[in-house]
Structure 1
């Protein structure tokens, strides 16, 4: 089950509507994403990344997940 970078962005945007989001990858399984959102202020990186993974709603879950790998960078705006 392949997924596009735009579909990943749409899933993330559902939880972070005002975020700056950049998703790269075109093989349908391996992606890199940058998510910059004010809601991350005061959170450590693990907390930020868990929030983004939760937004992906199972797209990364086990062998049936559409996303095989996601290099994730998260931060609050400077």
Structure 2
């Protein structure tokens, strides 16, 4: 079942309610997201991206995941 950019944003926003979030893509499987949040301050990029992937609650897990690819850009403001 395809996932939408809005669904991805909703999942990320639940974990990062104050973040600036932009999700692009419309094929149901391949997306790009930019997440800017104060909670990333002091984290390296791997830590930031792991936090965002955790917010996706398994949507990228395995071959049957709803979300096939997410190009992710994260940073603190």
If the length of structure 1 is used for normalisation, what is the TM-score?
A: 0.98
Where does residue 48 of structure 1 map in the other structure?
48
Distance in 2, matches of 1:66 and 1:51, equals 19
Superposition RMSD in Å: 0.3
Q: Within 5 A, what are the aligned runs for 1:17-56?
A: 17-56=17-56
Where does residue 72 of structure 1 map in the other structure?
72
**Alignment size in residue pairs:** 77
Distance in 1, matches of 2:75 and 2:66, equals 25
**Runs of 4+ with >6 A deviation:** none
Gaps of 5+ in 2: none
Q: CA deviation at 1:63?
A: 1.1
Gaps of 5+ in 1: none
